[in-house]
Amino acid sequence: MKLVQALALAALAAPLLLVPRGPSRAADAAAGGVPPEDLRLFEQVMRQVERSYVRPVAPDQLTANALKGMVNRLDPHSDYMDRKEYKQTAANISGAFGGIGIRITEETGVPKVISPIDGTPAAHAGLEPGDLIVAVNGEATDGMDLLQTVSALRGDPGSRVTLTIERGNKAPFPVTLRRATIDVPTVKYQLEPNRIAFLRISEFDATTPGAARAAIETMKREAGGHLRGLMLDLRDDPGGLLGAAIAIAGDFLDGGTVVSTRGRLSADNQVYAASGGGDLLPGVPVAVLVNSGSASASEIVAGALQDRRRATVMGTRSFGKGSVQTVIPLGDEGALRLTTALYYTPSGRSIQGIGISPDVVLPAPAKEQVTSAVINHENDLHGAFSPVGTAAHKPMPQSFSRPIKPDLIATPQDGQLKAALAQFERELGTRRAEQ
């Protein structure tokens, strides 16, 4: 199973070509080169396929398939992208593309919905987390890789696409959607009663930090210049750009570490500190709301504010996606998305496979949960890195539940948010009494 759209891009690295030297396989391996025996085997297999396979296969297709197999079997998040797929990934990051607006994973060869994106055709059509997409326009998706599925789902705005959906024990049923330009704002906000600001981030892209700061300033003005507290909602936020996460966390911290990374190469061992103008809300209590759909960049923000004692984390255990994917362009031949390091919170906790456990456990009310959804976390994915560090020897936290129905998030029917705001109000009252 693989996550898409949950990319934490640490850096762009230059291509590196390793040339084998010398006859010794062990020496070649130690030097990082490709042993000649392996190159000969690869060439032999390609020739046999070209000569004997039941249908003609172009050599470039064989090469691309071989590269994909080599890289995407390393872990759930590494992959080789050809030129078309690389451009598609760039469109994901830019935040504007034509499609239906869902985040998907792959489960036993079939695409599965993580969540629809707020305000998109998928959300309006009622697609739910856990839905299996067994066909697109009548073509079975079994065995189709995720980027192929995404390509099939996308198209010109206004065009139609029909999905065949399996949901729980129900018989498969068709859902026809009209594609739209997916350019959905990542930040939503509103001032709650008693001058509590509500800020929802659905994904971290290049526009998110600026939009979040503008929202905070707007709510401060609406509150007469002073907020009593801020609720930061990161539920079902699959992540995004590392730089955006660092900027958001830094807006609630006066300097200091936000996150660190550790990898094989010294260049991958980095400490990322808060920058900018410092805490935008000094002295104002903050709460962060997370669930099993909160991954990657959203876990970095929650973990940083929790470790630095700047926020109370509420909700259920997050996804646990604590690895860094570096996008490495390969000239005109696409790019690698390669896992190069792991994330650590300011106190040195690994996020990988463990996630962020809330200080206050608040599951969604049973009637609001997606009953057909299977609860998956990073450590459930095939090939995922095991939890690392001291926490690896402790029992896995069990503070999770099925996710809330996406169409209820941040609406008047959002019982989990109501419970979180009520808990936050109690905390604010306790702090005032102590002062």
Told to judge if 296 belongs to the known catalytic residues of this protein, a careful annotator would answer yes
The pLDDT assigned to 4 comes to 33
Reading the block at residue 274, the tokens are 């808060």
CA dist., res. 196 & res. 180, Å (int): 34
CA dist., res. 318 & res. 238, Å (int): 10
At 87, which amino acid appears?
K
- Cβ atoms of 287 and 420 closer than 8 Å: yes
The pLDDT assigned to 325 comes to 85
2, 321, 357, 414: the active-site residue: 321
At 273, which amino acid appears?
A
The pLDDT assigned to 434 comes to 65
CA dist., res. 196 & res. 223, Å (int): 8
Reading the block at residue 75, the tokens are 């872990």
SS3 of the chain: the string is CCECCCCCEEEECCCCCCCCCCCCHHHHHHHCCCCHHHHHHHHHHHHHHHHHCCCCCCHHHHHHHHHHHHHHCCCCCCEEECHHHHHHHHHHHHCCEEECCEEEEEECCEEEEEEECCCCHHHHCCCCCCCEEEEECCEECCCCCHHHHHHHHCCCCCCEEEEEEECCCCCCEEEEEECEEECCCCEEEEEEHHHEEEEEECCECCCHHHHHHHHHHHHHHHCCCCCCEEEEECCCCCCECHHHHHHHHHCCCCCCEEEEEEECCHHHCEEEECCCCCCCCCCCCEEEEECCCCCCHHHHHHHHHHHCCCEEEEECCCCCCCEEEEEEECCCCCEEEEEEEEEECCCCCECCCCCCCCCEECCCCHHHECCCCCCCCHHHCCCCCCCCCHHHHCCCCCCCCCCECHHHCCCCCCHHHHHHHHHHHHHHHHHHHHC
131, 251, 307, 414: the active-site residue: 307
Told to judge if 414 belongs to the known catalytic residues of this protein, a careful annotator would answer no
Told to judge if 260 belongs to the known catalytic residues of this protein, a careful annotator would answer no
Q: Smallest Cα–Cα separation from 355: which of 390, 399, 312?
A: 399
Q: How big is the CA angle at 330 (ends 326 and 334), to the nearest 5 degrees?
A: 90
Domains of the chain: 97-182 (2.30.42.10), 187-434 (3.90.226.10)
The 10s digit of each residue's pLDDT in 312-321 is: 999 999 989 9
**Locate tokens 């892209």: which residue?**
205
Q: Smallest Cα–Cα separation from 272: which of 289, 258, 253?
A: 258
Q: Which residues of the chain are under the pLDDT cut of 70?
A: 1-32, 89-97, 107, 372-376, 387-401, 432-435
296, 298, 318, 401: the active-site residue: 296
The pLDDT assigned to 93 comes to 57
- Cβ atoms of 298 and 204 closer than 8 Å: yes
